[in-house]
Amino acid sequence: MFAGPLPRYTLASVRRTVLTGSERRTTQRFTMRLPLTVRWTSGAAVGETSTESRDVSSRGVYFYLSKDVKEGSPVEILLTLPNEITMAGPVRVRCLGRVQRTEPREEGAVGVVAAIERYEFLRGDEDR
């Protein structure tokens, strides 16, 4: 059994897309509602909530929160990538990144775009 800390990996883009018009994405975005645990720091305040994604790519996640988070705030996102993405069974991942922008949504919710800076693949007992 592996006794030391888990190695940290950066995912290469899942697939490249053709850049057309004003489209600047270089990685494929998967529109899928995945359960997430999101933790963020905004100044001295720390928040944590369970939510879901709207879409996921190898460079970012769009998800919903019930309150606004400051742009640039660090975020930690825990999620499980399904078979459709990994092609090898579900994979639990901790994503570390920053809030790029937020946008108001219906019923007081806030849409959050977070850029992913680093990934950590987790074993089953490493959610916290």
Report if residue 68 sits inside a domain. yes
Q: Is residue 13 part of a domain?
A: no
> Would residue 38 count as lying in a domain?
yes
Q: Is residue 92 part of a domain?
A: yes
Unique residue bearing structure tokens 């769009």:
62
**Is residue 12 in some structural domain?**
no
In a domain, 2, yes or no: no
Q: Which long-range contacts (CB under 8 A, 24 or more apart) does 11-20 make?
A: 11/58, 11/119, 12/58, 13/57, 13/58, 13/59, 14/57, 14/58, 14/85
In a domain, 3, yes or no: no
Model pLDDT for residues 34-86, shown as the tens digit of each residue: 999 999 987 788 899 999 999 988 899 999 999 888 999 999 999 998 887 78
Domain housing 55? 31-121
CB burial readout 105-117, b (16+ within 10 A) else e:
eeeeeeebbbebe
CATH classification of the domain holding 38: 2.40.10.220
Whether 19 maps to a domain, the answer reads no
The domain tally of the chain equals 1
pLDDT digits (tens, 9 = 90+) for 110-128: 999 999 999 999 976 666 5
